[in-house]
Amino acid sequence: MTIINLISSSHHSNPGHLQPFGTVGSLINIEEINGEHLNILKFFTNYISKLEPIVFRQVLINNIHYNIWQTDEQLENEIDGLSKINIYVESLKQRQRIQMEFGDFLDKYEKESLLFADNLPEILRKYLVVPQPLQCDEVLPTLQSAILVINGKNTSPLMFNQEYDSILCLLRGNKRMVLVNTNKYPDVRQIIIPGNRQSRRPPINPEKVDFNQYPELENIDYYVTNLTAGDCLFIPNEWIFQERSLDKTISIIYNIDHKQILNINIDEIKICSTKNTFDSSFTLDQIDWSKIENEPQNLKEIIIRLVNSQSNNFEKWQETFSKYFSFDLSSDSETAAIFDEFYGIIDIDGNGEITMNEVEQINGAHQHHISDVLYEMIKLAHDKQKDDLETKINIEDENTQEILENEELEDTENENMDEHLHLQNFKTDL
């Protein structure tokens, strides 16, 4: 998931200029359904496939463990051992990632502007029920992660999910959500995934959106809703979203692999929908997370695993990133040179070994530099893969082959470049 941050100014005739994101202009209320989830067939055909958001009002309130989330004291007192587990949190004031015990975080997060946004700790899985649309055997494997978010009153940056559809469920508090469809407004998408890396603009301040800097945001539709505890919101793939927490909030975000769920046979979806009754006893601890957890989800997880491994050296990093990019970076002098530069930027003291302290310093201009180098590295790797493909494959129908190659390479390149251009983390921003 990619995140955009802060700052801007100036004069403009539009009343939304220098106003909070999505508060002035064409505001559209997101469709709602009360007291229940849609069955999987309707959810699949009308919302996932069509990339349309929808709010499910008060679908959590009858869950057996719903009340345990309502205060920090209940969480600490009723879940034995929770206070002592170690977690990583974001300090919004210091703009760095720090480690602390869960109990310390609950004591400090409102006073010190701390944010927890990471994979749901294993100890909490039995206290959350799998959303009804995901309870089908055919659909459940598309669930890629469950991200727990705990924060005080604040305004988030703009966020964007390239790979996943998301179901955001609010367990405590109140949030105002604003969504923008980048499939309808592709220019808005370029704010987050710039087409030209040389034309960087000041980061967006979601409290005062500067239309002089970002005219793409002037005359567009903003989809809005206010969530209260017990509500869930479906956020489609490739929609920008921004949230304003109106008080202390806890939410859980279920990330669904968009391409994988679209590949499910519609007949299987129809069969599943006939038996898709809600099982309130089907909690997240009953899912086999081992395969998902063993696969790093993004660059940050790869880097942290490498830093914590016994073979934290240049050769291991190059081997790991080669697997991640599906290209042997050491096999070509150009990609090898770029990777050498990438490693050297992160290895600030130049001693040949990257430490967690060096990883935690990836922010600001340093992060932009790393993003630029990653852009060059993945683009070059894909260009060379394309050259290899053209020399290896020989099909009689050249026109058909050209179409197939172009479609495949374009899909792959767009998908990978979007992820690798930005060190991402709604939960895991480097």
pLDDT at residue 118 is higher than 60: yes
> 193: pLDDT confidence band, cut at 50, 70 and 90?
low
What pLDDT does 19 receive?
86
> 429: pLDDT confidence band, cut at 50, 70 and 90?
very low
What pLDDT does 372 receive?
83
Does 414 or 367 have the greater pLDDT score? 367
* Report field, pTM of the whole predicted structure over 0.75: no
Residues contacting residue 171 through CB under 8 Å, at least 6 positions apart: 60, 66, 69, 229, 250, 251, 252
Exposed e or buried b for every residue in 336-363, given b needs 16+ CB within 10 A? eebbeebbeebbeeeeeebeeebbeebb
What pLDDT does 148 receive?
96
Question: Could you give the CA distance from residue 203 to residue 286 in angstroms, rounded to a whole number?
Answer: 42
363 DSSP 8-state letter: -
Among 42-51, 170-179, 285-294, the least confident range: 285-294
Per-residue pLDDT of 53-80, as tens digits, reads: 999 999 999 899 999 999 999 999 999 9
Q: How far is CA 17 from CA 24, 185, 205, 256, 361, in A?
A: 9, 19, 11, 35, 34
Burial degree of 7 (CB within 10 A; 0-12, 13-18, 19+): exposed
Per-residue pLDDT of 129-150, as tens digits, reads: 999 999 998 899 999 999 999 9
Q: What percent of the chain has pLDDT over 90?
A: 42
Domains of the chain and CATH, by start:
2-288 (2.60.120.650), 299-421 (no CATH)
Per-residue pLDDT of 285-309, as tens digits, reads: 999 887 666 666 567 778 888 887 7
Average pLDDT in the chain:
82
Per-residue pLDDT of 384-424, as tens digits, reads: 766 655 554 444 444 434 433 444 444 444 444 443 333 33
Q: Which two tokens stand for residue 81?
A: 């051992």
What pLDDT does 368 receive?
78
Per-residue pLDDT of 206-260, as tens digits, reads: 888 888 888 888 889 999 999 999 999 999 998 999 999 989 999 999 999 998 8
Does 410 or 12 have the greater pLDDT score? 12
What pLDDT does 196 receive?
44
> 13: pLDDT confidence band, cut at 50, 70 and 90?
low
